[in-house]
Structure 1
Amino acid sequence: MRLVASLHLWKTTTVLALMVNLVPLSLAGEYEEYDWKPDPFGGGRVYDKPPQCVSIPDDLRLCHGVGYTQMLLPNLLDHETMAEVRQQAGSWVPLVHKACHPGTRIFLCSLFAPVCMDQRIYPCRWLCESVRQGCEPVMEAFGFPWPEMLACDKFPQSDVCINTPNNTDASMDGGSSPVCPPCDNEMKTDAILEHMCASEFAIKTKIKEVKRENADRKVILQKKRKAVKLGTLKKKDLKTLTMYLKNGADCPCSQLDNLNSAYLIMGRKTDRQYLITGIHKWDKSNKEFKKTLKKLQSHKCPTYEKVFK
């Protein structure tokens, strides 16, 4: 998914450099447990287990390498186990790849994998609103609403909150591209596999015809279709499948301009349509794509909970 803005920034900056709106607090990453201060935004929730610092696991791709190694559990979204964190966080990895806003990863990781400190520090409401402004159009292209668990009015406007450097605004160019989000994909094995896992199904097919339908593009497939990941798609539905590029009537998608090639098309079902969430040329001469096909034979996707309804 390459509205490309490099993610190297997140690997080379520490969380302390990013918390420009945060009053100094002592890190407690070396402790398993520590004294807990009341949470003014959590409603005084009582957890089954005492809060503790744990290592961010390698397979928590959303936040591994974010700039610190220890996270708080339960986190700020009330996930009490690492299994819950993995299930929910995995669905967001493709959005981070889209680089729809420079602060996306910081915002999400401040909630899913908060740095260990002596009190719960939430992202600033401004940061939430800015990320939402930049990323909601991309999410809509995939048929996803902004989830209630990230409602921005839940977050503080005080000085004690997490923000990004220089108050980067979504109106600034954060690496965005005019290309339709499902068509703007990096041909990298890990990115393709993560994208496929976050999609409900994936097929190999050719495109017969593309039509404009209101604000969308209707993609009519050729009859020969092979399921790469059947997922929620039933075999009987595969035979009659017609797909749509949500809000894609006017944005460029080079894949839909070439009807001679076969494609790996990923998708998900909404109430009324089967939406394209990603499309790659089926190109075995490409080393990365060939590597992806080989990995697909043994790759197992994590089981994600329904984050986006």
Structure 2
Amino acid sequence: MATLRRPAGVSFCARSVCVSVCVCARSVCVLLLLLLVSGGVGGVSAEEYDYYSWPLDPLQTGRFYAKQPQCVDIPADLRLCYGVGYKRMRLPNLLEHETLAEVRQQAGSWVPLLAKRCHADTQVFLCSLFAPVCLDRPVYPCRSLCEAVRDACGPVMEAYGFPWPPMLQCSKFPLDNDLCIPMQHSSSHVTQTPVSKVCPPCDNELKADTILEHFCASDFVLKLKLKEVRRDRGDRKLIVAQKKKKVLKMGVLRKKDLKKLVLYVKNGANCPCPQLDSSLSSAYLVMGRRLEQQLLVMAVHKWDKKSKELKFALKYMKSHQCPSYHTVFQ
């Protein structure tokens, strides 16, 4: 086994026992980190440590913080990192968010991506940045972990019309021979469940929580009927029946948009969409965003009058308090 070396060490205290951990061989450091994240070493879990003497940011962003880095409890309403395996996080985090309010705002828009189960390590990767585990020095995800999640989830994001965001550019993360968080699942087992081949906007359960999440993340929400659906340059183009629509959330829509309403399922020309592949006689609940000059569909459901979940969601839409986050896909 690799041995620990003592020079230039970092320190932390577990309960009343202080331990000095020096700069160590990568295999030992990563093992220690994973043990802490997954439940602790010798019965002591990660959240029971007090940390001090934070070193400089290894990525050298040049950011100067008004407050000293600290360990805080991961908020119960930070849904992105619910059940991640540890209870305390470093603040400011590794994306330079300095307050929990800012973390909540920015992390909220990633929750729908978790539901797509595009990679088994998506939560590990995102939470290592949004809510990094409290160690004496910040530990970033390995570049290979970033690349694996990007390669698996990037196409899902592209299906919604959004590229992989610059803030998660994988080249800025450390190589695997440095101290970093590696992949937890092999490339042959990248997903927890088989990924559906259905167009992503069509692959959402008619559940109240899901509807309200998309309601908050969408620029506009409509009840409508469709006049025609056609393929258009790799997209699926939805022509809305003019007199058969009701605005539930106006958002960025303008009056001239409503006069001749055309929506797009991005990259949806060839993937199945059960709601749209059958008869168009029923009404639809459509939630979407504006991207440049196009109105993109983020979620589409058949309007089922008998659905208790839909009735519940519609009842609380007006009073529902949405988080005021900026979408990470911008």
TM-score range with shorter-chain normalisation?
A: 0.7 to 0.9
* Structure 2 partner of 1:100: 118
Q: For the residues of structure 2 that align with 1:187 and 1:21, how far apart are their CA atoms?
A: 44
Q: For the residues of structure 2 that align with 1:199 and 1:127, how far apart are their CA atoms?
A: 29
Q: For the residues of structure 1 that align with 2:31 and 2:137, how far apart are their CA atoms?
A: 12
Conserved? CA contact 1:20–1:165, under 8 Å:
no
2:274 to 234, 250, 254: 254
Q: For the residues of structure 1 that align with 2:272 and 2:29, how far apart are their CA atoms?
A: 39
Does residue 137 of structure 1 match 2:135? no
Q: For the residues of structure 2 that align with 1:55 and 1:98, how far apart are their CA atoms?
A: 27
Letter in 2 for 1:70: R
Aligned-residue identity in percent: 59
Q: CA deviation at 1:38?
A: 3.0
Does residue 285 of structure 1 match 2:306? yes
* 1:152-171 deviations in Å (ceiling 9; x for gaps): 00111134211232333587
Q: For the residues of structure 1 that align with 2:126 and 2:151, how far apart are their CA atoms?
A: 14
Does residue 226 of structure 1 match 2:234? no
Q: CA deviation at 1:306?
A: 4.8
1:267 to 288, 291, 295: 288
> More deviation in 40-49 or 98-107?
40-49
SS in 2 for 1:166: coil
SS in 1 for 2:309: helix
After TM superposition, the structure 1 = structure 2 runs for residues 78-157 of structure 1, keeping only pairs within 5 Å, are: 78-157=96-175
* Structure 1 partner of 2:12: none
Q: For the residues of structure 2 that align with 1:90 and 1:169, how far apart are their CA atoms?
A: 29
After TM superposition, the structure 1 = structure 2 runs for residues 4-19 of structure 1, keeping only pairs within 5 Å, are: none
Letter in 2 for 1:164: M
Q: CA deviation at 1:172?
A: 6.4
Conserved? CA contact 1:130–1:169, under 8 Å:
no
Q: CA deviation at 1:239?
A: 2.7
The 1:41–1:169 alpha-carbon spacing in structure 2 relative to 1, beyond 3 Å, is: farther
Letter in 1 for 2:241: Q
Q: CA deviation at 1:68?
A: 1.6
* 1:188-210 deviations in Å (ceiling 9; x for gaps): 21122112211211111011110
Conserved? CA contact 1:33–1:51, under 8 Å:
no
Gaps of 5+ in 2: 1-26, 37-44
1:22 to 24, 30, 38: 30
Q: CA deviation at 1:287?
A: 2.0
Gaps of 5+ in 1: 1-18
Q: For the residues of structure 2 that align with 1:249 and 1:122, how far apart are their CA atoms?
A: 38
Letter in 2 for 1:24: L
SS in 1 for 2:257: helix
Q: For the residues of structure 1 that align with 2:209 and 2:327, how far apart are their CA atoms?
A: 22
* Structure 2 partner of 1:15: none
SS in 2 for 1:205: strand
* Structure 1 partner of 2:329: 308
Q: For the residues of structure 2 that align with 1:167 and 1:95, how far apart are their CA atoms?
A: 20
> More deviation in 159-168 or 256-265?
159-168
Does residue 49 of structure 1 match 2:77? no
* Structure 1 partner of 2:92: 74
Q: What TM-score results when the alignment is normalised by the length of structure 2?
A: 0.82
After TM superposition, the structure 1 = structure 2 runs for residues 236-247 of structure 1, keeping only pairs within 5 Å, are: 236-247=256-267
The 1:117–1:281 alpha-carbon spacing in structure 2 relative to 1, beyond 3 Å, is: same
2:52 to 27, 30, 34: 34
Q: For the residues of structure 2 that align with 1:244 and 1:57, how far apart are their CA atoms?
A: 37
Conserved? CA contact 2:227–2:240, under 8 Å:
yes
Q: CA deviation at 1:248?
A: 0.7
* Structure 1 partner of 2:232: 213
Conserved? CA contact 2:128–2:141, under 8 Å:
yes
Conserved? CA contact 2:120–2:192, under 8 Å:
no
The 1:114–1:307 alpha-carbon spacing in structure 2 relative to 1, beyond 3 Å, is: same
The 1:172–1:34 alpha-carbon spacing in structure 2 relative to 1, beyond 3 Å, is: closer
Q: For the residues of structure 2 that align with 1:225 and 1:209, how far apart are their CA atoms?
A: 14
Conserved? CA contact 1:63–1:113, under 8 Å:
yes
* Structure 2 partner of 1:8: none
The 1:181–1:271 alpha-carbon spacing in structure 2 relative to 1, beyond 3 Å, is: same
SS in 1 for 2:80: coil
Q: For the residues of structure 2 that align with 1:200 and 1:283, how far apart are their CA atoms?
A: 23
Q: CA deviation at 1:128?
A: 0.7
> More deviation in 158-167 or 66-75?
158-167
Larger RCO (CA under 8 A, 6+ residues apart): 1
Larger Rg belongs to:
2
> More deviation in 203-212 or 65-74?
65-74
Q: For the residues of structure 2 that align with 1:286 and 1:205, how far apart are their CA atoms?
A: 17
Q: For the residues of structure 2 that align with 1:304 and 1:136, how far apart are their CA atoms?
A: 21
Q: For the residues of structure 1 that align with 2:148 and 2:179, how far apart are their CA atoms?
A: 18
The 1:176–1:37 alpha-carbon spacing in structure 2 relative to 1, beyond 3 Å, is: same
Conserved? CA contact 1:20–1:162, under 8 Å:
no
* Structure 2 partner of 1:175: 194
